[in-house]
Chains A and B, each alone.
Chain A
């Protein structure tokens, strides 16, 4: 009798997360839980000013405090050629400032002491004399004539422009606009936000002089890349570096970059020959580590009266802070911004993108976003709603008119991406049905008679997930494949290791399910390990929803290699030739005599105890997987809201999510990802942003000012699914980790804009705080988060 795949925890089983056994018992093992003998503690002194020349640093008083072991400044780093380090975007970033500080919170000095209290006291005893310089906090200031030069450390850097980049068909787009009946324009700002994982960043560097081995416990989503980077930057031999990423308390992109604290703790351990622990506090995390977004859009759509989009023209100005350290591996300067409008059939499109330096924290990371896809899809869906309104066409109908049709795949987008599958119209229909679209429109009209403001917002999008393929994606030249290694023990139990690194995604649960699906070994019999570069195969880590598309594919492929060898063992055990053998889940049998068979467990035992001549013993293998393309999940999010005209407060009435992420490995985990993503989407739409005052002070340096929504205000979500398997993924899966964060915000904003439609307001920038909504309602003008940079400024 064939195994029941759900019972053994295979594909489609909502298996409980095995890692939760330790997490909910408080038995997780995070970096800060690790205590090594003789361990010292490091604290960082940060700049209080956003832009200032360092005139002097006096560390005398800090050295004098009992228990202080080392005080490091930029000079210490420079003596080891480590004052600056390369970024993932081919720029440089100061480790400890030597010449000037370029953002508030920048690392200026470090103290290593016997305990963290002493280290903190000693940091306060360091006297730094600053000469303040003019501060730049937005692209408009950065681009103004005569603006102070932020990166005067760089030769040939004469202005504050990081890059000026273009993609698409300019002439074709110009022609489309010339032929348009209506041109719809929109100016938007996607504000700066922060991934803000529950656990901040930290490391324990442990350099052992006796063995020359450097072991670093580190909060990293990509331990193997860190090992390569340490080998290249610190010029240490790669085999003498061991990076261990233990349990991580969330990442959301925040834990991809290399931060000065990691580097400083490593140097401190080398200098002191003792383990050095650095644990960032929440303020340090919020003000200095990788932020996300902070980008302005000028968007235009060329439209035909009947609703057909003829062309799209976009210009973005992105604020990268003081160092261009975007953690993104594509060949494209502005990440995958040009994946915008991928679900629509657009004849022509052109995008220009300019990046600038400002006196703000660096590290544009993909906060639950596949490299600017969050912005791309938000801009797209806000523009689509404005265009539908400008044409007077129903917003759902307008999307339907322009969707890529189910029979149009593979489809080449206007910006050159190749999408491969989807049922966009069906997802929209499921969403409209679930929300009760027509009913709601009637309710809205009724409510309007009593002065109540109801609105409905739709967001539909397909996004490129799973970086990458080796043609277009690499990090410091390392190709974006991923890996899995599977060892089946003689009793049929197994250990699987991958080059990815879970930060809460549940890899220990889902990877075992893929093995169960491919081999029939119950998921409970498979241990999953990740994050230790001495034991795991080389991989590129977890971000950009790439784990299932890439490492997950490698898990399937290595399982198939194991199955191929097991087949030889089965033939030997059954005394027939391989060609006469059939496979069903967990068992090989003789085609002509199905009762005669051996289980995968019996094959495993034979691999160690009864190996035929000419076959190597053992049952283990590895696989490196280079995906042929990105995966393209699709989603339709619909929100209904009511706006209180007396206060500008808006409440979500209903929120429906329809996700098509292909085949779902563990539906419960997928739903958890969507719930979490929608919560973050709601946060960005309603309350979350990091802003700066004119002096460059970060307003949002703690959780009193940077708001994370709690269960109290987060609305309920109703989830639905459509399944269109990915044609090139071994098990038909697509990425899902980021879809809801990417697509969700526009649904909420579109809903509020729909509620106040007709008063002449085109846009309120996120977050839609009550005062902004109230201002738009009463003053009847757009409300922007910060001064926009117009296309004409170019």
Chain B
């Protein structure tokens, strides 16, 4: 690969990284796993003047669950760490379902969840998952830290609300208030292909009733789609064939797919509704049976 020339920096602290980003004045890019950035450099779709390689930053490779059930994923936590995590398997069914479906095993060894969110590719899997879970990121800039809900992070394809001198430090999934359920389904032409359609669903139930629901859609719009109405249709009662059908219909309506070589818009909408139904009908009820 022969990218355009760029300056390469490998800071040793978050503060140093932020200073470099600030110095770059919008012409610097953060290099974490590099699984999206490097191909873009290769194709010269991206020609930043500076790369700020954050792989030497200490203490950012964590995946942990706080005492209250909050899940924290550091900026250098790799997809493979999430895939192998027993924490997720035990606590977070939507993330556990998505982790093995992200890209391919080679990409998962290097790529990071936080990097995927900041890349803001509408075909990225983690943004849908985090939207469904109501997650946020913590960004640090010269003026300090702030929280940004993942649902508010994306401005458009490959665009986020992060300032040029802000570094995303971690992603956070809030502690559930009920029993967490849900899943992730993805249609791809081949392992490692971008999603034709991906559907992330996260619900919380208490006393048999859905008290929180989130649905994120991958690959069916200019940005990751937060299917708020579809999720809303699930609230306030148990999952039933009727509420599932309603959510499927609303999710398909929320999708804004384009016809392309991955399939027609009609087909993609159909897959959204099929996947919503399939995920929700496999969510166990309080007796452990699928709805």
Q: How far is the CA of A646 from the CA of B261 in the complex (A)?
A: 19
Interface mask (A105-123 → B, CB under 8 Å = 1, otherwise 0):
0000000000011011100
A705 and B190 within 8 A (CB)? no
Other than A712-B104, A713-B190, give 18 A-B pairs with Cβ distance below 8 A.
Answer: A117-B2, A117-B5, A119-B2, A647-B274, A687-B189, A702-B43, A704-B193, A710-B191, A712-B191, A713-B191, A770-B187, A770-B189, A770-B196, A770-B263, A771-B196, A771-B262, A771-B264, A771-B267
Q: Contacts of B278 on A, CB cut-off 8 Å?
A: 646
Q: How far is the CA of A248 from the CA of B44 in the complex (A)?
A: 28
Q: How far is the CA of A43 from the CA of B1 in the complex (A)?
A: 12
B270 CB–A CB distance under 8 Å:
yes
Interface mask (A22-47 → B, CB under 8 Å = 1, otherwise 0):
00000000000000000000010000
Interface mask (B248-281 → A, CB under 8 Å = 1, otherwise 0):
0000000000000111100100110010001000
Q: How far is the CA of A111 from the CA of B177 in the complex (A)?
A: 63
Interface mask (B180-195 → A, CB under 8 Å = 1, otherwise 0):
0000000101111110
Query: With A691-B261, A699-B261, A710-B192 given, is the CB distance from A647 to B187 under 8 Å?
Result: yes
B4 CB–A CB distance under 8 Å:
yes
B263 and A769 within 8 A (CB)? yes
A649 CB–B CB distance under 8 Å:
yes
A709 and B190 within 8 A (CB)? yes
A 768-794 contacts with B by CB, 8 A: 769-771, 774-775
Q: Contacts of A712 on B, CB cut-off 8 Å?
A: 104, 190-191
Q: Contacts of A770 on B, CB cut-off 8 Å?
A: 187, 189, 196, 263
A 709-763 contacts with B by CB, 8 A: 709-710, 712-713
A707 CB–B CB distance under 8 Å:
yes
B 220-263 contacts with A by CB, 8 A: 261-263
Q: Contacts of B271 on A, CB cut-off 8 Å?
A: 647
Q: Contacts of A774 on B, CB cut-off 8 Å?
A: 267, 270
Interface size on A, residues (CB 8 A): 30
19 contacts between A and B (CB under 8 A): A116-B2, A124-B44, A283-B43, A647-B274, A648-B267, A687-B189, A704-B193, A704-B194, A705-B261, A707-B190, A708-B190, A709-B190, A712-B191, A769-B189, A771-B263, A771-B264, A774-B267, A774-B270, A775-B267
B187 and A121 within 8 A (CB)? no
Interface mask (B1-33 → A, CB under 8 Å = 1, otherwise 0):
110110000000000000000000000000000
A binding-site residues for B, Cβ under 8 Å = 43, 116-117, 119-121, 124, 281, 283, 646-649, 687, 691, 699, 702, 704-705, 707-710, 712-713, 769-771, 774-775
Q: Contacts of A707 on B, CB cut-off 8 Å?
A: 189-190, 193
Q: Contacts of A281 on B, CB cut-off 8 Å?
A: 1
Query: With A710-B192, A771-B264, A771-B267 given, is the CB distance from A646 to B4 under 8 Å?
Result: no
Q: How far is the CA of A704 from the CA of B262 in the complex (A)?
A: 11
Q: With both chains docked as a complex, state the minimum distance between the C-beta of B6 and any C-beta of chain A, in angstroms.
A: 11
Q: Which residue of B lies closest to A700 (CB)?
A: B261
Q: Which residue of A lies closest to B185 (CB)?
A: A647
Q: How far is the CA of A771 from the CA of B262 in the complex (A)?
A: 8
Q: Contacts of A708 on B, CB cut-off 8 Å?
A: 190
Q: With both chains docked as a complex, state the minimum distance between the C-beta of B261 and any C-beta of chain A, in angstroms.
A: 6
Q: With both chains docked as a complex, state the minimum distance between the C-beta of A619 and any C-beta of chain B, in angstroms.
A: 51
A649 and B104 within 8 A (CB)? no
Top-5 shortest CB links A-B: A771-B263, A712-B191, A771-B267, A120-B2, A646-B274
Q: Contacts of B263 on A, CB cut-off 8 Å?
A: 769-771
Interface mask (B96-113 → A, CB under 8 Å = 1, otherwise 0):
000000001000000000
Q: With both chains docked as a complex, state the minimum distance between the C-beta of A574 and any C-beta of chain B, in angstroms.
A: 63
Q: Which residue of B lies closest to A779 (CB)?
A: B266
Q: Contacts of B192 on A, CB cut-off 8 Å?
A: 710
Our pick among B44, B187, B190, B267 for the contact of A710 (Cβ within 8 Å) is B190
Q: Contacts of A769 on B, CB cut-off 8 Å?
A: 189, 263
Q: How far is the CA of A709 from the CA of B271 in the complex (A)?
A: 22
Our pick among A121, A702, A713, A775 for the contact of B4 (Cβ within 8 Å) is A121
Q: Which residue of B lies closest to A646 (CB)?
A: B274
Q: How far is the CA of A121 from the CA of B4 in the complex (A)?
A: 7
Q: Contacts of B191 on A, CB cut-off 8 Å?
A: 710, 712-713
Q: How far is the CA of A466 from the CA of B262 in the complex (A)?
A: 38
Q: How far is the CA of A646 from the CA of B264 in the complex (A)?
A: 15
Q: Contacts of A709 on B, CB cut-off 8 Å?
A: 190
Q: How far is the CA of A355 from the CA of B4 in the complex (A)?
A: 42
Q: Contacts of A704 on B, CB cut-off 8 Å?
A: 193-194
Q: Contacts of A646 on B, CB cut-off 8 Å?
A: 274, 278
Q: Contacts of A687 on B, CB cut-off 8 Å?
A: 189-190
Q: With both chains docked as a complex, state the minimum distance between the C-beta of B48 and any C-beta of chain A, in angstroms.
A: 16
Q: How far is the CA of A349 from the CA of B103 in the complex (A)?
A: 49
Interface mask (B204-218 → A, CB under 8 Å = 1, otherwise 0):
000000000000000
Q: With both chains docked as a complex, state the minimum distance between the C-beta of A282 and any C-beta of chain B, in angstroms.
A: 9
Q: How far is the CA of A648 from the CA of B263 in the complex (A)?
A: 11
Pick from A121, A702, A771 the residue with the most CB of B within 10 Å: A771
A649 and B2 within 8 A (CB)? no
Q: With both chains docked as a complex, state the minimum distance between the C-beta of A261 and any C-beta of chain B, in angstroms.
A: 16
Q: Contacts of A283 on B, CB cut-off 8 Å?
A: 43
Q: Contacts of A124 on B, CB cut-off 8 Å?
A: 44
Q: How far is the CA of A646 from the CA of B187 in the complex (A)?
A: 12
Q: How far is the CA of A121 from the CA of B194 in the complex (A)?
A: 30
Q: Which residue of B lies closest to A703 (CB)?
A: B192
Q: How far is the CA of A770 from the CA of B1 in the complex (A)?
A: 33
Q: Contacts of B4 on A, CB cut-off 8 Å?
A: 121
Q: With both chains docked as a complex, state the minimum distance between the C-beta of B291 and any C-beta of chain A, in angstroms.
A: 17
Q: With both chains docked as a complex, state the minimum distance between the C-beta of A457 and any C-beta of chain B, in angstroms.
A: 20
Q: Contacts of B274 on A, CB cut-off 8 Å?
A: 646-647
Q: Contacts of B189 on A, CB cut-off 8 Å?
A: 687, 707, 769-770
Q: Which residue of B lies closest to A770 (CB)?
A: B187
Q: Which residue of A lies closest to B278 (CB)?
A: A646
Q: How far is the CA of A687 from the CA of B187 in the complex (A)?
A: 13
B 37-85 contacts with A by CB, 8 A: 43-44
Q: With both chains docked as a complex, state the minimum distance between the C-beta of A452 and any C-beta of chain B, in angstroms.
A: 15
